[in-house]
Amino acid sequence: MTDLTIKELINRMPKAFIPEKAVGVDAVIQYNLTGAEAGDYIITVKDGKCEVAEGIAPNPKMTLRADSQDYKDVISGKLNPLNAFAGQDQGDR
């Protein structure tokens, strides 16, 4: 995987979305990313669709807070998600 920006990764979510795996899901997920590529993103899953937007959701069902580099490393497989969640250091990647 090339080194994509956070914005590029977020904007690819609708293309990677598998509607069959989200039957009946109606959720708004807030991403609050910090660090070098900080940003706030809203992911909406409803009626078999996934939509993304920049901003702050008034009442998200879930909020993901992460360092932008850690998020990229988890998505690319460079960082084990459990290690990231546990806050283990870079040496545990």
Query: Which pLDDT belongs to residue 47?
Result: 95
CATH (one of 3.40.470.10, 3.40.50.150, 3.30.1050.10, 3.30.1600.10) for 6-82: 3.30.1050.10
The Cα 30–Cα 12 span in angstroms is: 16
> pLDDT tens digits for 56-78?
999 999 999 999 999 999 988 89
Q: Which pLDDT score, from 0 to 100, does residue 6 have?
A: 96
Question: Model confidence over 3-20: pLDDT tens digits?
Answer: 899 999 999 999 999 999
Alpha-carbon gap, residue 44 to 29, rounded angstroms: 6
> What gap in Å lies between CA 17 and CA 52, rounded to an integer?
11
Which of helix, strand or coil describes residue 82?
A: helix
- Over range 41-48, report the average pLDDT: 97
Please tell me the pTM assigned to this model: 0.85
Question: Domain segments of the chain: what residues?
Answer: 6-82
* Integer Cα distance of 71 and 6 in angstroms: 8
Q: What is the CA radius of gyration of the chain?
A: 14
**Residue 90 confidence (pLDDT):** 52
Summarised one tens digit per residue, pLDDT across range 24-38 is 999 999 999 999 999
